[in-house]
Amino acid sequence: MHAASLSTAGAFAALALEFKKMSDTSPNFPQGRGLYYGGAWHEPKQSGSVEVRSPATDELLCTINVGSAADVRPAVEAAHKGYLEWRDVRPMERARLMKEMGVRIRSNARELALIESMDGGNPISEMMGDVLGTAAMLDYFAGLVTEMKGSSVPYGPEAVSFSVREPYGVVARIAPYNHPLGFSVAKAAAPLAAGNAVVVKPPEQAPLSALRAAELFDGLLPAGVFNVLSGDRDLGAALVSDPGISIVALVGSVPTGKAVMRAAADSLKRVMFELGGKNALIAFPDSDPEKIARAMVAGMNYTWCGQSCGSVSRAFVHEDIYDEVLARMPQYLEKHKPGLPSDPKTTMGALVDRQALDRVTRYIASAHEDGARLIHGGVPPEDPALAKGCFMPPTVFADVTMGMKIAREEIFGPVQAVIKWSDEAEMLRQVNQVEYGLTCAVWTRDVARAHRIISRVEAGFCWINDVARHALGSPFGGYKQSGIGREECLEELLSFTQEKNVWINLNN
């Protein structure tokens, strides 16, 4: 999810006012705070609840009930019943219902944006775009329902051989916390369009928008088609292992992906993964240092505190422009100052929780120990208003080498490593030596060089003279351990179908 905010400055002020009202009364938090499956809300089989707190202020937002492994089987059974009805709904009717899901998201966009901001810590000024992007994804896949086409094979006058595409059954979608609504709802669009039922496990750290979406969709789809199970890793593990799940789709870390794949192997479940990234921006000496500095900051997604798998967390800058680029970075970094998500002027929110902040802090300490040169950030803000939150400003280290942890490991936070290079072959070796291969950005004015470098980098989504752009229909996914499959495109829809061949003997 990479949607720009569509709100105006006047709308930001209105949003801030609504946010304050909501903080006082919490009228728009989901009333259904249990488990949603089979078209109804259920209490957990084993009593359990968790507090949902703001990562920006540590305020208690609400308390929700969470499930356990005991809740998975009845939820999956309900989803299977829903699937048996949903698969027979005509494709254009499925499309109509999915577009209505998008209408309900748009009609409640402001409250969803407020919930997302409070629960996930991201700036309210950006969340409206995230919510509208979710609706756009529903519309996009609704428009592709007639493209689930098989094929025919010529044989001769005595027989016909052709194939059709059919849904798998029940799909488990495990969502991360950086775009909670998008990864819980937008990522359900493709399997729903294909005729599958979906069981969503929203992020533990930010579950509220998925629960609110379940309320908004209640009664629209056949019972059991869209389900939400809040819970921890044990619930997730039970969901992955349940024999009624046909496909597990995950957006998350590489370790989580490996754990899911091991669990899915017992029943040979299909998997689709969008995993981590340690992505490179490569700047050649013919590039404009000003544009490179701006791109390095924009590509790190500091608005989201760097909590983005596609962030260009490694910048390989040629020695000829290295110092000029570093000198120009502060003016762009200063535009991203941590602040309360409720403030429409905030351009950088909070990390999702204390655990995330502690992880980022450890990586910053390791960079100092390894001898990297800090050029910006590195310590929490001193503003008393932010003292209880999980804040860290944009942090940039120069003179980084590939022997340092911050150059090799995904931090998933606002820490960027800048690496000087002179030899193209050695630079490419270093770009490709990590286990990840999600995105890469190449900056040069030489078209032939740009194509040559793109053909050598091991990454699934690449930009030339740009960063962080997505377009629906363009396949997004990674090489190596950054994922399996492609999303945001027709291929994603087809991956949630299985092909059946039919042979007809015409001489019988």
Do 256 and 217 share a domain, yes or no?
A: yes
Let me know if residue 210 belongs to a domain: yes
Let me know if residue 67 belongs to a domain: yes
Do 285 and 352 share a domain, yes or no?
A: yes
Give buried/exposed letters for 241-275 (b at 16+ CB in 10 A, else e): bbebbbbbbbbbebebbebbbebbeeeebbbbbbb
Model pLDDT, residue 29: 82
Let me know if residue 381 belongs to a domain: yes
Contact indicator for 161, 152 with CB cutoff of 8 Å: yes
User: Torsion angle, CA of 87/91/92/94, rounded to 10 degrees?
Assistant: 40
| Count of residues in the chain | 508
- What 3-state DSSP class applies to 37? strand
Model pLDDT, residue 1: 54
Do 148 and 222 share a domain, yes or no?
A: yes
* CA 456 to chain CA centroid, nearest Å: 26
pLDDT digits (tens, 9 = 90+) for 70-106: 999 999 999 999 999 999 999 999 999 999 999 999 9
Model pLDDT, residue 23: 42
Q: Give the range of the structural domain holding residue 243, as residue numbers without chain letter.
A: 25-275+486-497
**Residues in the chain with pLDDT < 50?**
2-13, 15-16, 19-20, 22-27
Which CATH number do you get for residue 462? 3.40.309.10
Helix (H) or strand (E) holding 447: helix 447-456
Residues assigned a catalytic role:
274
Let me know if residue 426 belongs to a domain: yes
Measuring CA to CA, which residue among 339, 106, 120, 300 is closest to residue 208?
120
Let me know if residue 63 belongs to a domain: yes
Do 78 and 152 share a domain, yes or no?
A: yes
Domains of the chain: total: 2
Do 229 and 295 share a domain, yes or no?
A: no
Do 234 and 331 share a domain, yes or no?
A: no
Do 362 and 262 share a domain, yes or no?
A: no
Which CATH number do you get for residue 57? 3.40.605.10
- At how many degrees (to 10) do helices 91-107 and 109-120 cross? 70
Q: Which two tokens stand for residue 475?
A: 């396949």
Do 180 and 254 share a domain, yes or no?
A: yes
Model pLDDT, residue 508: 80
Phi, psi dihedrals of residue 217, rounded to the nearest 5°: -90, -5
Let me know if residue 352 belongs to a domain: yes
Question: What is the rounded CA–CA span in Å between residue 247 and residue 480?
Answer: 20
Let me know if residue 508 belongs to a domain: no
Question: What is the rounded CA–CA span in Å between residue 413 and residue 351?
Answer: 8
Helix (H) or strand (E) holding 356: helix 354-370
Q: What is the pTM of this model?
A: 0.93
Question: What is the rounded CA–CA span in Å between residue 120 and residue 350?
Answer: 8
Model pLDDT, residue 259: 95
Give buried/exposed letters for 344-362 (b at 16+ CB in 10 A, else e): bebbbbbbbbeebbeebbe
Do 253 and 352 share a domain, yes or no?
A: no
pLDDT digits (tens, 9 = 90+) for 5-50: 333 334 444 544 554 454 444 446 888 787 999 999 999 998 789 9
Do 31 and 115 share a domain, yes or no?
A: yes
| Residue 16, number of CB atoms within 10 A of its CB | 20
Phi, psi dihedrals of residue 36, rounded to the nearest 5°: -110, 115
Do 463 and 353 share a domain, yes or no?
A: yes
Let me know if residue 16 belongs to a domain: no
Do 271 and 284 share a domain, yes or no?
A: no
Model pLDDT, residue 7: 35
Model pLDDT, residue 18: 52
